[in-house]
Amino acid sequence: MSDEIRRIGLSLGADICWPICYEELIRRLDLAIPHGRDTLRFEVERVTIEPFDLRQPIPYDVVVDRLTHWYQPSREWIKKAIILNDLYVFNNPWSLQSNEKQTTYCAMMRLGLPVPDTWLIPPKAYNPSADLQPTLQRYARFFDLGEIGRRLGYPMFMKPYDGGAWVGVNKIDDEAQLRDAYERSGAMVMNLQQSVAPYDRFVRCVGLGPQTRRVNYNPSMPLHDRYTLDTDFIDAEGASLLEDMTLTINSFFGWDFNSCEALLKDGVWYPIDFANACPDSQVTSLHYHFPWLIKANVRWSLFCAATRRRMRPNVDWAPFYEVAERELPYRERLRAYAKIAHERFETDAFREFCATHLGHLDEVAHEMFGCDLVKDAVRQKVTSLFPPHEIEEFTELFWSRIQKWRDTEGARGDEGTF
């Protein structure tokens, strides 16, 4: 009988706090899982950036990726490793590279989700290129921006078709603001999207594999207060619908880790922003919800490594389209999509794995999130973002919210929804 090592790689950028906590939690779990005549053990390593031979082997079974949405060398290494070495990565790099927010709006409209009316408009300015002028002279048509505004109605939002982190997002209340925002948009290609206003709830639902967590979100607050500490803020049917919606979107695009924003108005949940396939994972914004994310990440990556889960490099939309073409009421159709998602995420096998091998996770995590190492990780992240005179104040704020989680959800076992 011997140890068989499964290795998890963390492909990181500016991340500080969550990798420290992730690594420590796996170390404390000290897993030894029977596997035939052998025993599975797990190691975590941070992936380095360096030249690579396309034929060289890789040391990892799973990689948690935080880079490929913007850093090309890591993207190409990961794609090579999937094709040649059967690496499992979250998320699918081809899907992440090719599906912008614009694409996701179109796809979910096709599935019948109530995405608000959306337009794409040509950029106000262009970066020079050899064929630009003849192309625009021959085929570009003058358009009346004010008429588009009148057709959509006010208020609306202007936002980059491929955006993230709220960059370039503008709330537009009238035609003057629309024209001014367009003048300032430069070479960015923009979507105009009908506003859902006034709304009753703004929820960000985070999905990690088959696990989901709903967070009451307040975009008007500073970043450290946007994720509220609320827990019981929607009814059971609303929670179920948002879970099904999130799993549908994530499995459709091949994203293990993504967050979906939705607004509730007059009993309808409108998905408004759901191409966030590298969600915010920092304690400085998640605070109370940070331990859930670490635990969910640990569960899913361990399951994928232990089972040597196979990557699905090709995103197969046909089963979803087949459901969309059936004459089903919306809620029933969404359940049918979610059934496909659960099959793709192997939810039953995942639940069994967690029950069999991770029964001590809640207890270990509860203890860990009260230790000095975690508090130091919080301090390191705060120090990287806040001015010196605010470091102590915000370290204590975020630490106190983690301790509130320990006293409530952490004390009773926070397995999440899956």
* pLDDT at res. 68: 87
* pLDDT at res. 416: 54
**Can you tell me the distance from the alpha carbon of 194 to that of 214, in angstroms, rounded to the nearest whole number?**
24
Structure tokens at 327: 């004459």
* pLDDT at res. 162: 85
Task: Look at the domain 3-98 and name its fold.
Answer: Rossmann fold (3.40.50)
In this structure, are strands 38-46 and 33-35 parallel, antiparallel, or unpaired? antiparallel
**Can you tell me the distance from the alpha carbon of 401 to that of 397, in angstroms, rounded to the nearest whole number?**
6
* pLDDT at res. 2: 87
Percent of the chain topping pLDDT 90? 88
The tens digit of pLDDT for each residue in 357-409 reads: 999 999 999 999 999 999 999 999 999 999 999 999 999 999 999 999 999 99
Cα–Cα distances (Å) from 248 to 48, 107, 269, 334, 349, in that order, read: 33, 11, 14, 8, 19
Mean predicted confidence (pLDDT) in 311-324: 95
Q: Among all chains, which residue has been given the structure tokens 């290795």? A: 7
Position with higher pLDDT, 392 vs 231: 392
The tens digit of pLDDT for each residue in 338-355 reads: 999 999 999 999 999 999
The tens digit of pLDDT for each residue in 128-163 reads: 898 999 999 999 899 999 999 999 999 999 999 887
Position with higher pLDDT, 347 vs 99: 347
Domain limits, CATH 3.30.1490.20, in the chain: 117-194
Give exposure, 264-287, as e/b (b: 16+ Cβ within 10 Å). beeeebbbbbbbbbbbbbbbbbbb
Q: Among all chains, which residue has been given the structure tokens 């430069």? A: 186
* pLDDT at res. 319: 98
Name residues whose C-beta falls within 8 Å of residue 353's C-beta, 6 or more positions apart in sequence: 302, 303, 306, 307
Sort 48 into a burial class: Cβ within 10 Å, 0-12 / 13-18 / 19+: exposed
Structure tokens at 397: 């704020």
Mean predicted confidence (pLDDT) in 91-116: 94
Q: Place 201 in a pLDDT band, splitting at 50, 70 and 90.
A: very high
**Can you tell me the distance from the alpha carbon of 196 to that of 297, in angstroms, rounded to the nearest whole number?**
32
Q: Place 36 in a pLDDT band, splitting at 50, 70 and 90.
A: confident
Structure tokens at 61: 């079974």
Q: Place 168 in a pLDDT band, splitting at 50, 70 and 90.
A: confident
The tens digit of pLDDT for each residue in 237-246 reads: 999 999 999 9
Domain limits, CATH 3.40.50, in the chain: 3-98
Task: Look at the domain 117-194 and name its fold.
Answer: Dna Ligase; domain 1 (3.30.1490)
String of DSSP letters for 194-223: E---S-SEEEEEEEETTEEEEEEB-TTS-H
Mean pLDDT of the chain: 94
Q: Is the pLDDT of residue 180 over 80?
A: yes
Cα–Cα distances (Å) from 391 to 382, 388, 399, in that order, read: 6, 5, 12
Mean predicted confidence (pLDDT) in 90-97: 93
* pLDDT at res. 165: 65
Mean predicted confidence (pLDDT) in 194-208: 95
SS (H, E, C) 285-331: HHHHHHHHHHHHHHHHHHHHHHCCCCCCCCCCCHHHHHHHCCCCCHH
* pLDDT at res. 417: 57
* pLDDT at res. 161: 87
* pLDDT at res. 169: 87
Give the sheet arrangement for strand 268-276, strand by strand: 211-216, 201-208, 257-265, 268-276
